């Protein structure tokens, strides 16, 4: 939950920086790229055990078998079956793809910044 909020906030900052960067000062493209790198950095670590944890951090393997709610915060827990052991839970895998996308985008932004500064001179 906390990480989701942080990610949303940082993405908003990144977009604001990019808007300013492309309209007024190219330096802000660099700032946006750095913010995006930070955004992807806070997504770590990716653990298989995340599938067993509630968003509040409670270990759901201790949850009562008949219950569907987290005993700690009362959120509904959803069971997910994966065919193989050693596979990341769906939510974690989604976050991993998102992080790769952020990293690639920030790299592209660094390149755009470099090209813009290079052509200015």
Site of interaction with Zn ion (CB under 5 A):
54, 56, 58, 70, 72-73, 75
Angle at 73 between CA 90 and CA 51, to 5 degrees: 20
Give the nearest distance from C-beta 44 to Zn ion in angstroms: 22
Residue 69 CA to residue 86 CA, distance in Å, equals 25
For Zn ion, the closer of residues 26 and 75 by Cβ is 75
Question: What Cα–Cα distance (Å) separates residue 113 from each residue in 8, 46, 105?
Answer: 23, 30, 12
For Zn ion, the closer of residues 8 and 71 by Cβ is 71
Based on the number of CB atoms within 10 Å of its own CB, is 95 exposed (0-12), middle (13-18) or buried (19 or more)? buried
Give the nearest distance from C-beta 72 to Zn ion in angstroms: 4
Is residue 95 helix, strand or coil?
helix
Q: Give the CA count within 13 Å in the CB-facing half-sphere of 66.
A: 0
For Zn ion, the closer of residues 54 and 109 by Cβ is 54
Give the nearest distance from C-beta 96 to Zn ion in angstroms: 22
Give the nearest distance from C-beta 55 to Zn ion in angstroms: 6
């Amino acid at each position: 939950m906390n990480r989701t909020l942080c990610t949303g906030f940082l993405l908003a900052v990144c977009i604001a920086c990019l808007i300013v960067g492309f309209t007024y000062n190219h330096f802000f493209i660099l700032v946006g790229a750095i913010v995006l790198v930070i955004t992807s950095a806070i997504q770590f670590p990716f653990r298989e055990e995340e599938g067993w944890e509630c968003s509040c951090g409670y270990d759901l393997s201790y949850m009562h078998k008949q219950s569907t709610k987290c005993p700690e915060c009362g959120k509904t827990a959803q069971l997910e079956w994966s065919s193989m052991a050693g596979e990341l839970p769906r939510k974690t895998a989604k976050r991993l793809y998102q992080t790769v996308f952020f990293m690639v985008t920030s790299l592209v932004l660094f390149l755009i910044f470099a090209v813009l500064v290079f052509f200015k001179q």
